Amino acid sequence: MSIVSYPVLRCILEHIEADCRLTLSARSLKISKFGKSIPLRMDLMWLTENCRVEINHTGYKVISEDPDKDVTHTLCRVYNYKSGFSVKRKFLKNYGVEVATRKIFEYLFGGRNSIRVKRVIVHRNGYKNMQYLFGTFNMKVNSLTSSGSGLSKFHSHLETPLKELIVDVSHLSDFENPIVRTAEIIEITNYGIGLYNDPNVWLETLRNLPNKEVIVREGVHGLTDTSILELIEHWRETRKATGSSFHLRKTDSVVLLKKAKERFKGTYVKLKETDRSTFFNIKAVSINIDSESEIVVYINVSRWTGPSVVIKVMTVGSSVEISEPLKKPKVIPTQPSNYSALVVIPFLTLMIALCLRFFC
């Protein structure tokens, strides 16, 4: 059997699916050691409550056995969502839950030079697990979904900017977080009661965000058409960069289009290219900025989130002027994706390797 050279093995390990790679590292001490210097690529990292972390399709959770007894044992439960297989193993030493959780996190992430994750999801109480990550690694993340108020704790672990940030906002200071301000796309799914009751604060804050795309999924109470028109005016005066867009949930969006046309002496247009997964044959209003760019205001009707208004800076020529009256946009149902057959990972091998590492 020919020996694989180090450069070749390094390239292979970097692109092996994370679940399989962790299995190999558990079985081979040599691979475990030099594998720390090779970027670990993951599709998904999920931090949830109760001392649990999930990597792709495999979850790791530390639990206490028989907590009502005088003597308890700490266990690690490993389970796989693809196969449905689950197993529990006792730690060799009777660690407390916090110490045992730290050891699991150190085993998975400790000492690695680079971790690259397509998507990280942190639930509201998942930030309690952040204490186990301090000083262990840094991550390059494409998309981060953050629930709760612990986003600031994540800053030391992330390489910014993010491609996409989906976040709950509880206070205006959240918008000053470097993770928020440097993300290319920011999607606000929920916001605190203080922001809810003061739409003027919303307007002032949102119009000054540097993000290329801002999406507000929850309707803003009290944000009037006049306020939105002022936002458009601000973008027009400041020459917002081409490609910038702002999405806001709004039910009476057709009325807003009419007001925008009248105030800015715009024209009804039809977009040349649209997202066909959510809407089709859109009518919009074009507002001139200069000879090279225009602000286009249009209605986005999604089967999942309902109607919303989109304000987008586009290059001149991205739309075609029309004279016909506005019609209700037609919703095109999203076609279900065709998924390839699921392939079950060698789960028993992973468990045997973990048992040898931790419990023997």
| pLDDT tens track for 254-263 | 888 999 999 9
Task: Tell me which DSSP letter residue 242 carries.
Answer: T
The angle subtended at Cα 63 by Cα 62 and Cα 65, nearest 5°, is 145
- Which of the pair, 309 or 203, is modelled with greater confidence? 309
Q: Report which residue type is found at 30.
A: K
Tokens of 29: 């001490």
Tokens of 53: 């972390």
The widest CA-to-CA distance across the chain, in whole angstroms, is 80
How far is it, in rounded angstroms, from Cα 60 to Cα 103? 12
Q: Is the predicted pLDDT of residue 273 greater than 90, yes or no?
A: no
* Range in 101-110, 175-184, 286-295 with the lowest mean pLDDT: 101-110
The pLDDT value recorded for residue 340 is 39
What is the 3-state composition of the chain as percent helix, strand, coil, each rounded to the nearest 5? 30, 30, 35
CA separation, residue 25 to residues 8, 14, 227, 256 (Å): 17, 12, 57, 58
Mean pLDDT along residues 283-309:
84
Q: Is the predicted pLDDT of residue 245 greater than 90, yes or no?
A: yes
Is the CB of residue 181 less than 8 Å from the CB of residue 158?
A: no
CB burial of residue 134 (10 Å; 0-12, 13-18, 19+): exposed
How far is it, in rounded angstroms, from Cα 216 to Cα 54? 28
* Range in 33-37, 38-42, 192-196, 296-300 with the lowest mean pLDDT: 192-196
The pLDDT value recorded for residue 270 is 84
Share of the chain above pLDDT 90, in %: 20
How far is it, in rounded angstroms, from Cα 302 to Cα 209? 25
Tokens of 75: 């266990």
CB burial of residue 328 (10 Å; 0-12, 13-18, 19+): exposed
Question: pLDDT band at 98, cuts 50/70/90?
Answer: confident
Most confident option among 142-151, 288-297, 349-358: 288-297
Q: Which of 50, 49, 53 is nearest to 18 (CA)?
A: 53
Mean pLDDT along residues 235-240:
90
Q: How crowded is residue 7: how many other Cβ atoms within 10 Å of its Cβ?
A: 8
* Backbone dihedral angles phi then psi of residue 173, each to the nearest 5 degrees: -65, -20
CA atoms within 13 A on the CB side of 49: 5
Q: Which of 189, 147, 180, 174 is nearest to 161 (CA)?
A: 180
Q: Please confirm whether the linkage preceding 161 is cis (ω < 30° from 0).
A: yes
